[in-house]
Amino acid sequence: MSFYIGREASKLWKRFCAETTTEINLLAENWKYLLAGVFFQYLHGLAAHGVHYIHRPGPTLQDLGFMLLPELGQDKAYISESLFSFIFLSFVLWTFHPFIFKSKKIYTVHIWCRVLSFLVASQALRIVTFYATQLPGPNYHCREGSKLARLPRPDSIVEVLLINFPHGVIYGCGDLIFSSHMIFTLVFVLTYHRYGTRRCIKQLGWFLAVCQSLLIVASRKHYSVDVVVAWYTVNLVVFFVEKKLPELPDRTNIAATMLLPLSTKDKDERTKEENHKLLNGNSIVDPADWRQRTQANGKIMEDGHVHHADTAMNGA
């Protein structure tokens, strides 16, 4: 048993090292795109923090989702955040599965370049949208009477640039249309739907995306319009951005070509080709192995080398 565990651990380590080498080479080629995408996440947070300074609390707007879904309350607001954290962490772990599993379809660097491009395009539209119109926040800390609903004038530009992390991110107001949580959720689900391999996980992903939408409205973190706009905007963004980006290499096809034996169909075609050659009197030896042979005075000349032919049997 210990021998088996040691052997499998050795294989896993070799696979991890080989994958690390491959991903480092890809990172050296694509680090600029990844860095730009990560930096834009900061710009998006900065924009969301900036709109909080101009947020004005007011009466909660009439909303169909608020009428249909019962309010969870402040004590149960963690439910939607817990589900989002599960979706986020699950997707991140999946993107790194090529380092562990033998069967793989994606490269980690390539998939994150694609994910960040989807996020950047969606978040850029979101910034323009929530700065165009500020709605009174429906969340509890954004309502009238809350001390967190409005931010005091900043004392310096540094205070704005630091965005009061993480308090300023958790208790933000004014960045409503459209939901940032749904941007991440839908980008992750759409990416796995395109590049994942397990059908049951794809179906589970869409189910969780619907649950996340309902929980966001039930927690009163967003209006229903914020969630609805996110659903069609992110899907359209991913659709059009995907068409502009080059196709990702499919590692399953490469592995199948290198590792898997010939299929029954390929074997039948190869057998038919060999039989056809034999019927026509042709050799089935690879032409690359053909060598010129000539015979003279009982000797066989082969590529300039002389070999004596067998002219006697049983010592005769």
> Is residue 181 among the annotated active site residues?
yes
Instruction: Determine the Cα–Cα distance for residues 205 and 183; give it in Å rounded to an integer.
Output: 14
The whole-angstrom separation of Cα 81 and Cα 139 is: 14
Residues 6+ apart with CB under 8 A from 164: 49
**Could you give the CA distance from residue 130 to residue 176 in angstroms, rounded to a whole number?**
6
Q: In this structure, which amino acid lies at residue 244?
A: K
φ and ψ of 281, to 5 deg: 80, 15
CA gap 92, 87 in Å, rounded: 9
For position 251, what pLDDT does the model report?
75
226 given a catalytic annotation: yes
pLDDT of amino acid 297: 46
3-state class (DSSP) for residue 300: strand
Strands (E), 135-279: none
Angle between helices 199-218 and 180-195 (to 10 degrees): 170
- Reported as a single tens digit per residue, the pLDDT across 41-84 is 999 999 999 999 999 999 999 999 999 999 998 889 899 999 99
d(CA 125, CA 140): 26
CA distances for 71 relative to 83, 171, 215, 222, angstroms = 17, 19, 9, 12
Which position among 222, 268, 289, 308 bears the catalytic label? 222
pLDDT of residue 281: 54
Q: How confident is the model at residue 288 (pLDDT cuts 50, 70, 90)?
A: very low
Question: Does 250 qualify as catalytic in the annotation?
Answer: no
C-beta pairs of 225-231 under 8 Å, 24+ apart in sequence: 225/63, 225/177, 225/178, 226/176, 226/177, 226/178, 226/179, 226/182, 227/65, 227/178, 227/179, 227/182, 229/129, 229/177, 229/178, 230/178, 230/179, 230/182, 230/183, 230/186, 231/182, 231/186
Q: Please report the pLDDT score of residue 104 as a whole number.
A: 80
Cβ neighbours of 186 (radius 10 Å): 26
pLDDT digits (tens, 9 = 90+) for 29-46: 999 999 999 999 999 999
C-alpha distance from residue 268 to each of 258, 259, 274 (Å):
20, 19, 10
d(CA 72, CA 153): 33
Question: What's the confidence (pLDDT) of residue 155?
Answer: 81
Q: Could you tell me the pTM of the whole model?
A: 0.77
Choosing from 110, 155, 181, 310, the catalytic residue is: 181
**Per annotation, catalytic residue among 226, 266, 286, 305:** 226
For residue 237 the two structure tokens come to 């963004």
pLDDT score for 272: 60
Average pLDDT over residues 146-164: 84
